[in-house]
Amino acid sequence: MTEKDSRRIFYFMGVNFTFMGVQAVYGYLTDSLGLLSDSIHMFFDCVALAVGLFASVMSKWPPSERFPYGFGKIETLSGFANGVFLILISLEIMFEGFERLLEGRETKRLRELFIVSTLGLVVNLLGIFAFGSHGHSHGHSHDHGHSHSHGHSHSHKDHDHDCSSHHDHNHSHGHGHAHSHGHDNENMHGIYLHILADTLGSASVIISTVLTYLIPWSGWDPLASFLIAYLILITAIPLVKSSAQRLLLTIPADTEYNLRNTLSEITNQRGVASYSVPKFWVDDGVSSEAGNRILGVIHVAAIRGADLEEVRDRVQSYLGKHGIDLTIQMEREGDTTCWD
């Protein structure tokens, strides 16, 4: 799946890069400023794509001593970076548009601009179609990240649990399996948004050029770019938000609910006196199997007379049933050497 993604990014990057080269050479030969500056823009797009490609490939790398949890988060990171970048760009475009609106600088060389932006639109539309099927399912990337983990944690549980959780399980199953790869989409979403922004940018230039041609007013171009920048902004903000939450290791709301239930049952396990400092985080593992497993740490105090290892095994298998893999530090009840 992700390999397919990275191949797609790679192909599109190739197309982009070639187009950039053609633009630059032709622009240099014909001394056309519009073409040259557009090729600079293309170059930045290529860089963004390269980062996305890198992240997509890197997310496959196995965990190591340096990276004990693998590179599952890198795609989220790349998505976050792309989102922040887009927000900054849209703010800049807005600012420039405002400036131009005030100065009333007139747009020149309409024909050249028109041709360049049409070509850009074609290339970007190609990208939209390449990523389009992906991008659409990614509109709700935040949601299925949740629902999947939800379904996952319940799928082991529904044998021995009450009907409310069973209901939840059924409910989430419908979502959960349609988009099983909850963890790799922030990167693709970011790239998709980037290409979308470019496409809209070219479209806006085309429309504003036509409008300026028909009704000569210098305000068309700033107005169009303002509008586009706003669109980019509102699409990038949800991406930044959702990826930020994952990077902050925030537990999604419904997973949290299950976790609370699971946790409160721990003290009912035989031999457990209490527990302290429970910390959980969602693992965006390497293999899709391990995706959305919950990892964490807990310190469990055993009652006097219980075998520590036995209690630990019991707690571990109990948690394992709920899809939680913890490092369990065993302590004796009343032992005060434990920190916190």
Partner 1 sequence: MAPRSLAPPPISITPVIHTPDDGSDYDLDGGDDDNIQVDLDYALYDHKHLLTPDRDSFYDPNRLSPVAPTFQINDYSSPSNMTSNSGGLNENASPIDIPSSSNGAPNPFNFQTQVISTSPVKPNVGQRRGHKYKHSSISAQHQIFQEPPPRPPLALPRDLPIPTVKEAWKSMSKDQRRRLYWCICHGVIAISVFLSAHGSLAMTALSHLVLFDVGSALICVAVEVLGNFEVWKRSSIRHPFGLERAEVLAGFALSIFLIFGGFDLVSHNLKHVLEGKGGHSSHHPDPHEGLAPRVPPGDVDMASLAAIIATLVSAYGLRNHARISKVMRVSYLASLPSVLSNPFHFLTLSTSALMVLLPLLFVPISVLLDSTICALVAMAMFALGLRLAIAQGLMLLMSYGGRSGSGSGSPGKNKDVGVADVMREIEAEPGVERVDEAQFWQVHYGLCMANLKLSVAKGADDAALSRLRARVTSLIQNRLGEGYGKGGSLRWEVSLQLGTAGTY
* Residue carrying the six token digits 């706003």: 230
Nearest to 188 by CA among 59, 19, 38, 290: 59
Q: Given phi > 0 = left and psi -120 to 50 = alpha, else beta, which region is 298?
A: beta
Of the candidates 322, 326, 234, the residue with the CA atom closest to the CA atom of residue 280: 326
Other beta carbons less than 10 A from residue 14's beta carbon: 12
* Minimum gap (Å) between residue 34 Cβ and partner 1: 10
Q: Which of 164, 268, 289, 305 binds partner 1 (CB under 8 A)?
A: 268
Contact yes or no for 266/109 (Cβ under 8 A) = no
Binding range to partner 1, per CB under 8 A, among 13-21, 194-202, 215-223, 328-336? 328-336
The span from the CA of 100 to the CA of 213, in Å, is 18
Q: Which residues are within 8 A (CB) of 324 and not within 5 positions of it... i.e. 6 or more apart?
A: 153, 259, 262, 280, 293, 294, 295, 296
Which position among 22, 128, 130, 247 is part of the footprint of partner 1 (CB under 8 A)?
Answer: 247
102 part of the interface to partner 1, by CB under 8 A = no
Residue 26 Cβ, how far from partner 1 at the closest point, in Å?
14
Of 1-9, 78-86, 119-127, 203-211, the window that binds partner 1 (rule: CB under 8 A) is 78-86
- The amino acid at residue 147 is S
Taking CB under 8 A as the criterion, which residues in 10-69 touch partner 1? 31, 33, 36-37, 40-41, 44, 65-69
| 11 alpha carbon, distance to own chain's centre | 21
At 234 the three-state DSSP class reads helix
| Among the listed residues 267, 270, 287, 317, the single contact to partner 1 using CB under 8 A | 267
Least distance in angstroms from the C-beta of 145 to partner 1: 15
Of positions 3, 103, 162, 313, contacts partner 1 by CB under 8 A: 313
Strands, sheet with 324-332, edge to edge from the N-terminal-most edge strand = 272-283, 293-302, 324-332
Strands (E), the chain: 272-283, 293-302, 324-332
CB 169 within 8 A of CB 151: yes
Q: Which stretch binds partner 1 (CB under 8 A): 9-17, 115-123, 140-148, 246-254?
A: 246-254
- Residue 8 or 326 having the CB closest to partner 1: 326
Contact set for partner 1, span 279-308 (CB under 8 A): 279-281, 296-297, 299, 308
β-bridge mates for residue 298, sequence order: 328
- What is the footprint of partner 1 within residues 105-124 (CB under 8 A)? 108
Residues 122-181 that bind partner 1 (CB under 8 A): none
CA distance 154 to 157: 5
Residue type, 151: G
Interacting residue with partner 1 among 115, 126, 231, 328 (CB under 8 A): 328
Q: Of 259, 307, 322, 340, nearest to 330 (Cα)?
A: 307
Residue 4 gets which letter from DSSP? H
Q: Is 339 in the site for partner 1 (CB under 8 A)?
A: yes
Report the nearest approach of partner 1 to the CB of residue 97 (Å): 15
- Shorter beta-carbon distance to partner 1: residue 8 or 114: 114
Interface with partner 1: number of residues (CB under 8 A):
62
**Please, which residue, 174 or 310, has the CB nearer to partner 1?**
310
Report, in Å, the least distance between residue 67 CB and partner 1.
4
Could you tell me the smallest distance in angstroms from the CB atom of residue 187 to partner 1? 13
Q: Which spans of this chain sit near partner 1 (rule: CB under 8 A)?
A: 31, 33, 36-37, 40-41, 44, 65-69, 71, 73-74, 77, 80-81, 84-85, 88-89, 92, 108, 244, 247-251, 253, 256, 259-260, 263-264, 267-268, 274-281, 296-297, 299, 308-309, 312-313, 327-332, 335, 337, 339
